[in-house]
Structures are given as structure tokens and as C-alpha cells.
Amino acid sequence: MSLLKGRPNGHILCVGHLCVDIISLCSTYPEEDQKVGTTTRRNRCIDQRWQRGGNAANNCTVLGLLGSKPYFCGTIAASHERSFIMDDFAKYDVNTEYAVVHEGCECPASCVILSEATGSRTIIHCNKDLPELAVDEFKKVNLSNFSWIHFEGRNVSNIREIIELVREYNSSHSESQPIIISVEIEKAKPEVEVLVPLADVIFVARDYAAYKGYTSMDDAIANIQLLAMPEATVICPWGEMGASACTGKKAIVRSPVFSPPKVIDTLGAGDTFIAATIYSLFEGKSLQESIRFGCKIAGAKVGVRGWEPLRDIITNIMHNFHAHS
């Protein structure tokens, strides 16, 4: 299956959240009321850093590393963190023309604890007052620039209207290739399901599957398919189990996990999988090849600290990707 006929001319746009991640890599996950320092004995803080975060922002980082020059659309606070965020977007070749700046707000942030012992990532997120993207703000996007728009499933009532705008655009431009619409269903909230029937491609995260009580990738895919358009593609990554996917009534395709020598940093594994899978589908690869590529890049990501070391790894992987085109 190829969603797009031929290599599209337009770009990929990711719509969603942007924040700062304050990340502590600890030798083990701390106990309540424990003090963890760089030289403490029972547990040690090995590294601490700031990173640009948010699902859509992370999708853009990976798409940028893959060389696809993505666009980000979402809100950003005019706070002192803004220059850090904007410089970092530039480092990954992400276009921020459609980032909407809000004065007088604080930058959303996550405190993240990475456990070296288990590879877990514990995220405590807080958005005090930064507004979500408004429908009118999205209307400034020049849709003719894009071939694929990926939406983080949040801010559901606005995103629903925004997707409907994109669908209307597609109907009124039937002479050109329609913009592919994908959504990520991750947040444990009942209302996100409203977005499922509006998308061509649906990524169902394991967090959402757990919230709904889905017991496996197949179970999650079957349940989401009940809500999706008949020909929609449903893709489900599942941590160490790899990923599975299915289009309409076709057979389920699967990818194994690609384990790095050591799992070091799982923050953004799902975001990496989504970005790499979209990239591959966008390049005209099959669903099977694309989820495999998603797992390969996500497997490489969890083996390194943060994003930057992924740059060289991706350069090597891309050599083979294009060689088999």
C-alpha cells in the first residue's frame, strides 16, 4: 500500500504541543523524599539537561533529522525560554513560521526522570496558562504548501474544526493530491476518539490503549477500526513489542522491535516512531516497510541520550533507506 502516488511536492506540517523538558537521568528511579545528587551512593543523578519537548515538537525534530524540512504549528509563550526553543528548532531545520507567540504566559514544562536501571521515563507536565492553538490561528496556514498534516490528539474541539477545514480544502482542490491527515491518539481522555473518524492515518499509543483496557496491538487496532473510516490506516506502536498496523480490511502487518545495545533514554520514543513512519509513508514505502523503519529509528533513539547523537545514526540508516528506493 502506498498512501501517496509518487513523491509529493508539499511539506509535512505537525500541529501540537511545545514545551521545555527538564530531564534528570538517575541511576534508579528515586524514592519519595529521597535526595539524589551527582555523587550520592544509593542513587545518582548521572545527567541533567533541558530539551525542547512536546509530541509535535519532537515529531518535527525527528523529521528534521531525516531531512524532510518539516513545519511546526502550535502556540509558544513569549517567555525567556523562547529563544532556547527557537534556536533548537533551527538546529533541526524546522520551519516555525506558523508558531503562534502568546505574550504574558509561562512556558509549559515537564520534569522528566529517566531511570538508567529500567529505561523508564516518568513525565510530570504542567501548562499553567499557555492557550491551545485556536482555529483562527490555523487559518493563517497556507495549505497549498503541505502534502501531509499530522495532528497531536489534544485540544479536541479546536483540532476537530481544524481537520474539517483541511478536509474542505481537499474537497475544493480535487484536481491535486489531497493532503493526508494523520492523528495521534495518546491522551487518556474520552473526547480524543472524536478525531478518529476524521483521519486517514491514526496512530494509537500504548498509553491510550492501556486507558481503554485494550490488551494488545491487535485489540487496539480492531477497536479503533470500528470508529475509523473504512479505508483508514491504523498504526499501533507498543514499546518492546515493536508495532503493528492495518489498512481497512487488509491483513495486519507487523514490525519487530530494534533493540539498541542498552536502553538509555525512552523519552520521545513514540514521537520518534510516528515521525519516522510518516516520513517513510511519505516517501512512498509500503505500510510494512514504514512501520519497520519507524521501529528502527525509534530503537536507535532509545539507545542514546536526547536527540543530537541520533543525527549520525540516521545518516547511516538513511544511506540504506535510499539505496533500496
Binds 205, which of ligand FRU, ligand ADP, none (CB < 5 to 8 A, cut-off by type)? Answer: ligand ADP
Query: By CB under 6 A, how many residues form the interface with ligand ADP?
Result: 20
- The 45-64 contact track toward ligand FRU, x by CB under 6 A, reads --------xxx--x------
* H or E element in which residue 148 lies: strand 146-152
Q: Which of 89, 273, 293, 307 binds ligand ADP (CB under 6 A)?
A: 273
Counting contacts by CB under 6 A, is residue 89 touching ligand ADP?
A: no
Binds 58, which of ligand ADP, ligand FRU, none (CB < 5 to 8 A, cut-off by type)? Answer: ligand FRU
Smallest distance from ligand FRU to CB 196, Å: 20
- The 188-217 contact track toward ligand ADP, x by CB under 6 A, reads -----------------xx-----------
* Bridge partner list, 181: 149
Task: Please return the burial class of 86, using the count of CB atoms within 10 Å of its CB with bins 0-12, 13-18 and 19+.
Answer: middle
Counting contacts by CB under 6 A, is residue 155 touching ligand FRU?
A: no
CA dihedral 263, 305, 245, 5 (to 10 degrees): -150
Please choose, out of 12-20, 74-82, 220-228, 293-301, the segment that lies near ligand ADP by the rule CB under 6 A. Answer: 293-301
Q: For the chain, report the end-to-end CA distance as a whole number of angstroms.
A: 15
Counting contacts by CB under 6 A, is residue 110 touching ligand FRU?
A: yes
* Bridge partner list, 22: 50, 111
C-beta of residue 10 within 8 angstroms of C-beta of residue 148: yes
Q: Which of residues 173-232 bind ligand FRU (CB under 6 A)?
A: none
Counting contacts by CB under 6 A, is residue 242 touching ligand ADP?
A: yes
- Give the strand order in the sheet containing 180-185: 95-102, 71-77, 11-15, 146-152, 180-185, 201-204, 233-237, 243-247, 253-255
